[in-house]
Structure 1
Amino acid sequence: MSDTPSQSPDQRYTTAEIVSPLLERRDPSAPERLATSVQHRFEEMRRNFAIRRGNQPTVLSFTGYGTTSWIRVLSRVVMAPDEAFENGRRLAKVVEDGVRGWRNFVSPPVPYAEVEVHVGEQTFTVRADRGGVVDARVEVAMEPGWQTIQLAAADGEVSTSDIFIVRDDVTTGLVSDIDDTVVVTALPRPLLAAWNSFVLDEHARTPTPGMAVLLHRVLESSPRSPVIYLSTGAWNVAQTLSRFLSRNLYPFGPLLLTAWGPTEDRWFRSGMEHKVTQLERLAQDFPHMKWLLVGDDGQHDPEIYADFARRHPDKVRAIVIRQLTPSEALLAGGRASDTRDTTPGVPWCYGPDGAALAGQLEELGLVDPETASETPLTWPRGGKGDTSEGSVHAEQARG
């Protein structure tokens, strides 16, 4: 990054002056609401403070997906110290790997940052949104399986991103919710959501019994199928969730999270709208795919999945709902209404854990009762000199 002009202590720094190669001026004709205006000025203050501390733009790489003709690139650009991240991932030291959740919200985002995407010998330029999140489709040919691309912002360090390229003949995919489906969070209750997001040590999160085994058994019956984790959580906690999924041996796959903060017309983003939008995009991205939709009955998953199945009955193989325990349902504010009768021709599975759900999927012929779970392919954890089991298996998956 270019040197910062000298300024007197009382002179205000502006982000446009210091990181101008990254920023695009906002459209002055765009509507500005109180919520977004407050957030914009707060984030600008945080960026200015980060610049004075010598922080630089850093691309946090997330796992993407695509086909043999295009890829979906997912990442986030933030201001951070050089030593805080390596290869776009927080250094996997013992202390830093067990950080409290609030640290995920410390690094200020860089709005409208330009990010270079390097795919082999080709280079593409994409742009982040106002929250620093990159969600871009790049038209490029790639071989099926796990592939690697590089991402870079301005003079920042190059980050590596894993991309799962789906074979053209694959017709089954798996979409799984996270909160109360693969991890017990009781997220809908505001105070508990704040506790889980900002306070709780990530090692203290509790995996849902049997769900990792269930997802692996589905993949054993449908090899080369994509696994997509769809959650209302913020992109700020993407790497925390990745480490949780790795430690608990969940299948390797992209996360589809949401941006943190208000929109132009509301103070808080709609989690339901996010899930509906992402499911519709998956239906468009993979027009020949039939999805196994996995969720729980403590939020709106049954309603969202049933609505998707009514609109796209030919794109749903089955809906799998994990039933919360009475105490979990109480914390979640109750159970979702039963919508099983509203989707003729689409099978449903209801059960309290992965084992019960696996038995029902066996009856539907979606899980082979004769298959035994092999060594799973988990999430790479990143970090210097990392030889963790997840990273080794991820490398084996590329072969």
Structure 2
Amino acid sequence: MKKRIRKLAGRYKLIEQILITAYRSYGTHSRLYIKGRVLDNEPLKITQDANIFKTIKTTYKQFDTFEIPEAQIDLSLPGKVHTSTETNAEGFFLFEDDIKENLAEYADEEGWLDYKLYYKGPMGKKTELLEDPFTGSFLIPHPEAEYGVISDIDDTILQTGVTSFLKLRLLKNSLLTNAYDRIPLKGAAEFYQKLHEGRDGTPNNPIFYLSNSPWNLYEYLKLFLDHNAFPKGPILLRKFRTPFDGSIKPEKPHKQKEITNILQTYPAMNFILIGDSGEHDASIYTEIAAQYPERILAIYLRSVKHKKQMNRVRSIVDNFETTPVLMVESSQEAIAHAKEHEFI
């Protein structure tokens, strides 16, 4: 809080510390798509035994960010691959480059490749570089993957209350509940592990996680997924927009844009889409399936207890014949369908 007051008062000039958060992302043997953010903040610490006051403090810190714009970031990959980029006004950076080296040779058994990030931006005499280098990893799916899975997070694997009145339950769950205390929907982790392993039991099938949550909640959601034994996968969130944000809004919804990008990155791979019936997943997923009718194997929509939304979703999926769409009440129902269609 003191740091924020000093900044607003115009006395905050020097950068105190450098923190680079590298988001779990994805690519191919010759294509990078690596995102991250550079902040003048302490690393977020989410502890399992935190009381409500510590949880509120941690939540506040996730949004009380001090962005470092126009900072040069150098990326180092195995095989002597090096490239650079700059952060934007909000501290975000993106490496989206074609690479001549075959990066898949350096990935682990499940396709994850580690890389190093070096901060080359402005520093003061007392600036602390919290790590040097910072590290991250991105996914290169195995060439023998049977299919990929693109899944929503909110009310699909994590109960958020996104359809609740004035989204009050969503606010309580996201802002006032410790990540360790969040309860995944029953059987979801088991279902995703089965999809990850596919028919032959080899963990080759990539899982991509989508959410309309802001990047500020990245560490929170990553911890939830890891703590509850979901398969490791890229996490794709979106920029936090305030009422005063004057930037141009994207033409396509965030989820639609990210799904399209994944499909274009892996043109030979088919996909299963998983979402819920609470918001816009049904309309987005069926539109994607209509655009790529040969590549979407199935759509699973977890039913939410909201009559108006359910009626709207029914009107969309009942007459949709391009791709099988299953409204499921439980993970076991989805598992049974996946077995029947030999996805697992």
Q: Distance in 2 between matches of 1:76 and 1:179?
A: 23
Contact 1:50 1:79 in 2 (8 A): no
Q: 1:192 to 1:51 in 2, by over 3 A?
A: farther
What residue in structure 2 maps to residue 131 of structure 1?
90
For the pair 1:225 / 2:186, whether they are aligned, the reply is no
What residue in structure 2 maps to residue 105 of structure 1?
63
Q: 1:224 to 1:109 in 2, by over 3 A?
A: same
Instruction: In structure 1, give the amino acid aligned to 2:302.
Output: R
> Paired residue for 1:192, among 138, 157, 169?
169
Q: How far off is 1:46 after superposition?
A: 6.0
Q: 1:139 to 1:348 in 2, by over 3 A?
A: same
Q: 1:47 to 1:149 in 2, by over 3 A?
A: farther
Contact 1:272 1:300 in 2 (8 A): no
What residue in structure 2 maps to residue 291 of structure 1?
271
For the pair 1:150 / 2:110, whether they are aligned, the reply is no
Q: Distance in 2 between matches of 1:149 and 1:96?
A: 32
What residue in structure 2 maps to residue 257 of structure 1?
237
CA RMSD of superposed structures (Å): 3.0
Contact 2:46 2:179 in 1 (8 A): no
Q: Which runs of 5+ in 1 are unaligned?
A: 1-41, 368-399
Q: Distance in 1 between matches of 2:9 and 2:313?
A: 44
Could you list the per-position Cα deviations for residues 99-136 of structure 1 after superposition, in whole angstroms to 9, with x for gaps in the alignment?
A: 33222112222234322111123321122333222233
Contact 1:58 1:153 in 2 (8 A): no
Could you list the per-position Cα deviations for residues 366-390 of structure 1 after superposition, in whole angstroms to 9, with x for gaps in the alignment?
A: 12xxxxxxxxxxxxxxxxxxxxxxx
Q: Distance in 2 between matches of 1:50 and 1:190?
A: 36
SS in 2 for 1:175: strand
For the pair 1:214 / 2:180, whether they are aligned, the reply is no
Q: 1:46 to 1:57 in 2, by over 3 A?
A: farther
What residue in structure 1 maps to residue 293 of structure 2?
313
SS in 2 for 1:194: helix
Q: How far off is 1:50 after superposition?
A: 5.9
SS in 2 for 1:184: coil
Q: Distance in 1 between matches of 2:178 and 2:227?
A: 14
What residue in structure 2 maps to residue 15 of structure 1?
none
> Paired residue for 2:328, among 329, 351, 360?
351
Contact 1:119 1:150 in 2 (8 A): yes
Q: Distance in 2 between matches of 1:47 and 1:254?
A: 39
Q: 1:285 to 1:199 in 2, by over 3 A?
A: same
Q: How far off is 1:274 after superposition?
A: 0.4
What residue in structure 1 maps to residue 27 of structure 2?
66
What residue in structure 2 maps to residue 114 of structure 1?
72
Contact 1:59 1:152 in 2 (8 A): no
Q: How far off is 1:345 after superposition?
A: 3.7
What residue in structure 2 maps to residue 396 of structure 1?
none
Contact 1:170 1:224 in 2 (8 A): yes
Q: Distance in 1 between matches of 2:291 and 2:8?
A: 43
What residue in structure 2 maps to residue 340 of structure 1?
317
Instruction: In structure 1, give the amino acid aligned to 2:285.
Output: Y
Paired-residue identity, %: 23
Q: 1:254 to 1:309 in 2, by over 3 A?
A: same
TM-score, length of structure 1 as denominator length: 0.70
Q: How far off is 1:163 after superposition?
A: 1.3
TM-score, length of structure 2 as denominator length: 0.81
Instruction: In structure 2, give the amino acid aligned to 1:280.
Output: T
Kindly tell me the number of residue pairs found equivalent between the two proteins: 312
Q: 1:292 to 1:44 in 2, by over 3 A?
A: farther
SS in 2 for 1:65: strand
For the pair 1:165 / 2:153, whether they are aligned, the reply is no
What residue in structure 1 maps to residue 255 of structure 2?
275
Instruction: In structure 1, give the amino acid aligned to 2:215.
Output: W
Higher mean displacement: 270-279 or 348-357: 270-279
Instruction: In structure 1, give the amino acid aligned to 2:149.
Output: L
What residue in structure 2 maps to residue 56 of structure 1?
17
